[in-house]
Amino acid sequence: MLGSLLTALTAAAEPSRSAGRTTSERIRRFETEQLTLHVLAATIVFLIILPVLIAALVSTKRAGIVTSIGDLAPGGHALSNYRRALIGLEFWRFMLNSFLMSVAVVVGKLVVSLLAALVIVYYRFPYKNAVFLFILFTLLLPVPVRFVPLYRLTTELGMSNTFFAITVPYLASATTVFILRQHFLSIPASLVETAKVDGVGPLRFLWSVLVPMSRAVLVGVSVIMFVYTWNQYLWPLVIINAESLQVAQVGLSLLRGQASTGEVAWSMVMTGSMLTLLPPLALLVLFRRQLLETFTIQQK
């Protein structure tokens, strides 16, 4: 009798133990998967930033020649290299030109794109959708296709080797028009009707309603455009002949040519590269929230 009772109790306890083991196995499996994902993400991040780390280390050396892993140890010439690049080789002038070019392009592109998106969203005119599709169609044209006609046009207008040559061609952006159009479409139509009833004009509606409601998107788009313009290399290299008007990306090649012994001054090149990273990096850090909001709006 007692043996039968113990057998029955053991059989009843078996399912709960099995369920407990199953739960603990699931928890261990979940923790293992999370650990694997974290290790994989950390490895990918490390591989992405590895070139930047190597550039930062080389910028602290005298010669900058790396032939083994031991040469990647930090050097003691960081301050002298950065001082020589900025002041001695006047790299600050190239960075100032890049900054002025980027700011001018961002402001001009925002104005053009805001007006274009305002017209596309809130105005009725024939073939409006076709016009918008044509704007998007320009995204399919690669830069080399537009390069020669743009160079000829700029030269014939007498704008080559000027500040306008490196700013005016960038003022139109289909991507920015598309982003602003999508954001304007998300604004309630009741606001538009209220503005019409109150007699608010288009430009005042743009400045007083749309711009304040689009502040985060405008900041995010401005950061993207600033980084894109800051990294321009080929067009300024072709259209600008005067060294005093060149931008930072082209100035890096001029730093490379400062080697007096015929060898490439990699430490100066890496120092200039690290300097060119600073403005875009600062903007990405300062306005990361607006950037995330911009991409979130596009996902909606």
The mean pLDDT values, 10 residues at a time, for the chain of 300 residues are 55 58 81 91 93 89 73 82 88 94 94 91 87 86 79 89 89 88 84 79 85 87 91 90 89 71 76 92 87 65
CA angle 164, 168, 171 (to 5 degrees): 150
Under 8 Å CB-to-CB from 75, ≥6 apart: which residues? 57, 60, 61, 62, 267
Closest to 258 (Cα-Cα) out of 247, 244, 272: 272
Per-residue confidence (pLDDT) for residue 100, from 0 to 100? 95
Backbone Cα Rg of the chain: 29
Which amino acid makes up residue 138? T
Per-residue confidence (pLDDT) for residue 11, from 0 to 100? 58
Closest to 97 (Cα-Cα) out of 168, 172, 167: 167
Under 8 Å CB-to-CB from 99, ≥6 apart: which residues? 230, 279
Asked if 180 and 294 touch (Cβ cutoff 8 Å), the reply is no
Which amino acid makes up residue 155? T
> How much is the pTM?
0.79
Under 8 Å CB-to-CB from 150, ≥6 apart: which residues? 169
Per-residue confidence (pLDDT) for residue 10, from 0 to 100? 58
